[in-house]
């Protein structure tokens, strides 16, 4: 096990307040892609392998999220068990942000209470579609009243709605999923001091929020080639934009081009990368289809060309 920052050790001693949690959202975030076995069961061993890669590389933030964690193909009981396994695997060596789906208020409240009971540090709340502005505000009020956990916004609400949501004191963070980079920059300028706003997309997108003080970003590289995440983190610490852009050009662009280039879906390629590095298997739940042997060969060739390395499991 690697040497961990002092704040990680301190975090193991007591629950963080929302304001303390806000200061911990820093650097690359391990966003968990739910892995599956050949019979389509959730692969909890694969979850633990990914967490180990993060911990061994001093990653401080671990997060579930509706999209990357594929809540759409999981039952509610599976989501709760996945959350518990995730929290136990991190074992207070970083902060864990649990996450709701686009659920009605009662289910979101139930999940937030559950997440708190098993030791999560925050709950990210994805707004269900179709409610009024006041309905959304009440949604957050009821979740905040039900848990002591910090709350993280998720999505791309307009700034005028964010201004109303953050009247709830325990809302201290936001995973932005805006329509373009301009949205990211705009909400950073408006709310960056009040909220820890982090990038839900690629490293390329993070460059739009970095000048305004965005403290963190998602990194899917942590789950299979963590050295890329480490190198990018160190470049950000040095404010070395040239090095950041070089990492994006050399690694992120070709890997993302492969994952988004079909014929299989993005999640299938991500899981195939996990299999290539021995972290988890490449299975996805139907109707998604797994990567074929020719696609696996393309992945092997790309990883060899880029000299991507797993690190120790």
CATH of the domain at 67: 3.20.20.70
Q: What are phi and psi of 97, to 5 degrees?
A: -105, 110
In a domain, 212, yes or no: yes
Is residue 128 a contact partner of residue 104, using CB atoms and an 8 Å limit?
yes
Query: For residue 2, what are its two tokens?
Result: 């690697």
Is residue 243 a contact partner of residue 300, using CB atoms and an 8 Å limit?
no
In a domain, 61, yes or no: yes
Q: Which residues contact 4 (CB under 8 A, 6 or more apart)?
A: 55, 58, 93
In a domain, 259, yes or no: no
Residue 50: which of 68, 67, 26 has the closest Cα? Answer: 68
In a domain, 293, yes or no: no
User: What pTM, to 2 d.p., does this model score?
Assistant: 0.93
User: What tens-digit pLDDT sequence spans the chain (313 residues)?
Assistant: 344 443 333 334 468 999 999 999 999 999 999 999 999 999 999 999 999 999 999 999 999 999 999 999 999 999 999 999 999 999 999 999 999 999 999 999 999 999 999 999 999 999 999 899 999 999 999 999 999 999 999 999 999 999 999 999 999 999 999 888 899 999 999 999 999 999 988 899 999 999 999 999 999 999 999 999 999 999 999 999 999 999 999 999 999 999 988 899 999 999 999 999 999 999 999 999 999 999 999 999 999 999 998 766 6
In a domain, 63, yes or no: yes
In a domain, 296, yes or no: no
Length of the chain: 313
In a domain, 300, yes or no: no
Query: For residue 294, what are its two tokens?
Result: 């020719």
Query: Rounded to an integer, what distance in angstroms lies between the CA atom of residue 147 and that of residue 116?
Result: 7
In a domain, 302, yes or no: no
Domain count, the chain: 1
Domain extent at residue 36: 6-240
């Amino acid at each position: 096990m690697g040497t961990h920052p002092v704040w990680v050790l301190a975090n193991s001693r007591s629950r963080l307040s929302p304001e303390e949690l806000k200061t911990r959202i820093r650097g690359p975030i391990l966003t968990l892609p739910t892995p599956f076995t050949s019979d389509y069961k959730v692969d909890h061993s694969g979850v633990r392998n990914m967490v180990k890669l993060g911990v061994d590389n001093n990653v401080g933030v671990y997060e579930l999220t509706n999209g990357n964690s594929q809540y759409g193909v999981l039952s509610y009981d599976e989501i709760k068990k996945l959350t518990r396994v995730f929290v136990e695997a991190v074992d207070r060596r970083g902060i864990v942000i649990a996450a709701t789906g686009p659920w009605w208020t009662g289910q979101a409240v139930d999940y937030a209470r559950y997440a708190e009971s098993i030791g999560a540090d925050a709950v990210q709340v994805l707004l269900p579609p179709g409610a009024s502005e006041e309905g959304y505000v009440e949604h957050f009020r009821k979740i905040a009243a039900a848990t002591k956990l910090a709350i993280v916004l998720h999505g791309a609400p307009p700034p005028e709605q964010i201004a109303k949501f953050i009247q709830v004191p325990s809302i201290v963070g936001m995973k932005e999923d805006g329509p373009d980079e301009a949205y990211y920059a705009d909400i950073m300028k408006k709310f960056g001091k009040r909220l820890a706003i982090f990038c839900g997309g690629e490293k390329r997108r993070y460059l739009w929020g970095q000048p305004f003080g965005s403290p963190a970003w998602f990194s899917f590289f942590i789950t299979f080639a963590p050295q890329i995440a480490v190198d990018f983190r160190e470049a950000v610490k040095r404010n070395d934009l040239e090095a950041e852009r070089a990492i994006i050009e050399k690694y992120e662009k070709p890997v993302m081009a492969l994952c988004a280039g079909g014929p299989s879906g993005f999640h299938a390629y991500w899981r195939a990368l996990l299999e290539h590095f021995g972290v988890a298997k490449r299975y996805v739940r139907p109707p998604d289809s797994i990567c074929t042997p020719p696609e696996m060969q393309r992945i092997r060739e790309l990883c060899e060309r880029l000299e991507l390395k797993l690190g120790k499991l």
